[in-house]
């Protein structure tokens, strides 16, 4: 089925991004944009229509659109990002997403980053991280449970977001770093663990049966290939300096 991928150009101010677990190092914005262009091209090749949100050069983290919205077939939720510097990103997401979904808008005191939200069919796991609080989980539940989803929070330590630690790579199959997330939260799912030497390898993006996977994690890559998965490698090293992974750069959903 046709999919839409919402995306946004890399901001000129990316070097002033929020950082939690990484030290600040110089970021080459042009290189980050080239990486993002190739990522968008990969999404197109997998059948997505890439729709751009407006450039927001004064908002350093605006390229990480995933954090500003959670989209399921029935509704779109505009989040209230945990970092105050990121709250100005939501207005343009709401404007664009309103073309595709009825919207639910989160309100204070909720905070929630979309990077903390892992949708596993009708089960939604939400990382209780530095960015996402219990009220955020409660408001997401209020938005999604009327449509038959169950929404559950789980503590996250060590990683910025739940999806830094775990992502869905195929129906019934989760890729995860067991050091950062409790594996028991994934009861009923098959699991493939990242190689212990590659803790940052758990953030992959499955689109129409192909897994976009970051270059530079050969051991975990081999584990995924051993599962029979179709992989496409993506260079994402420059955006990784801003603590962004592959899921962060887009919001992908069915065009309906
Ligand atoms: C931030 O700290 O908010 C950004 N520098 C990185 C956000 C990455 N987003 C994500 O993992 N969903």
Residue 195 CB–ligand 1 contact under 6 Å = no
Reduced to 3 states (helix: H, G, I; strand: E, B; else coil), residue 178 is: coil
Give 181-200 pLDDT, tens digit per residue. 999 999 999 999 999 999 99
Report the pLDDT value the prediction gives residue 157, as an integer from 0 to 100. 84
Question: Where does the pLDDT of residue 227 fall: very low under 50, low under 70, confident under 90, or very high at 90 and above?
Answer: very high
- Quick check: is 248 catalytic? yes
Site to substitute for ligand 1 among 24, 60, 113, most atoms within 8 A of C-beta: 113
Element (H, E) at 48: strand 48-52
Average confidence (pLDDT) over 146-155: 97
CATH number for the domain harbouring residue 232: 3.75.10.10
**φ, ψ for residue 94, nearest 5 deg:** -60, -40
Residue 127 CB–ligand 1 contact under 6 Å = no
User: Can you tell me the distance from the alpha carbon of 144 to that of 131, in angstroms, rounded to the nearest whole number?
Assistant: 20
Report the pLDDT value the prediction gives residue 10, as an integer from 0 to 100. 98
Report the relative pairing of strands 76-78 and 103-105 from DSSP bridges.
parallel
Question: Where does the pLDDT of residue 256 fall: very low under 50, low under 70, confident under 90, or very high at 90 and above?
Answer: confident
> Which protein residue's CA is at the shortest distance from atom 2 of ligand 1?
18
Q: What is the CA radius of gyration of the chain?
A: 17
Q: Within 10 A of 187 (CB to CB), how many other CB atoms are there?
A: 7
**What's the mean pLDDT when you consider all of the chain?**
97
The residue length of the chain stands at 256
**Is-contact 242 217, C-beta < 8 A?**
no
Domain count, the chain: 1
- Centre of ligand 1 to C-alpha 242, Å, is 7
Residue 159 CB–ligand 1 contact under 6 Å = no
Structural domain boundaries, residue 211: 3-254
Give 84-124 pLDDT, tens digit per residue. 999 999 999 999 999 999 999 999 999 999 999 999 999 99
- Centre of ligand 1 to C-alpha 64, Å, is 6
pLDDT at residue 138 greater than cutoff 70:
yes
Sorted by sequence, the CB contacts under 8 Å of residue 35 that are 6+ apart come out as 234, 235, 236, 237, 238, 239
């Amino acid at each position: 089925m046709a999919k839409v991928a919402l995306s946004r150009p890399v901001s000129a101010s990316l070097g002033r991004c929020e950082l939690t677990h990484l030290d600040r190092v110089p970021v080459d914005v042009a290189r980050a944009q080239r990486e993002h262009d190739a990522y968008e091209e990969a999404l197109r090749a997998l059948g997505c229509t890439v729709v751009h949100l407006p450039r927001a050069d004064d908002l350093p983290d605006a390229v990480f659109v995933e954090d500003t919205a959670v989209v399921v077939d029935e509704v779109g939720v505009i989040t209230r990002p945990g970092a105050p510097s990121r709250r100005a990103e939501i207005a343009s997401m709401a404007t664009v997403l309103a073309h595709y979904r009825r919207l639910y808008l989160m309100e204070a005191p909720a905070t929630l980053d979309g990077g903390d939200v892992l949708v596993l069919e009708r089960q939604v796991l939400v990382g209780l991280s530095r960015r996402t609080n219990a009220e955020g989980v409660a408001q997401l539940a209020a938005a999604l449970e009327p449509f038959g989803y169950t929404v559950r929070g789980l503590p996250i330590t060590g990683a910025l977001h739940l999806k830094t630690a775990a992502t869905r790579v195929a129906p019934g199959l989760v890729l995860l770093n067991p050091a950062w997330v409790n594996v028991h939260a994934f009861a009923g799912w098959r699991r493939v663990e990242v190689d212990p030497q590659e803790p940052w390898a758990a953030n992959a993006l499955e689109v129409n049966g192909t897994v976009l996977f970051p270059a530079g994690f050969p051991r975990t890559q081999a584990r995924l290939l051993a599962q029979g998965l179709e992989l496409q490698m993506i260079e994402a090293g420059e955006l990784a300096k801003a603590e962004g992974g592959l899921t962060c750069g887009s919001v992908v959903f069915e065009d309906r």
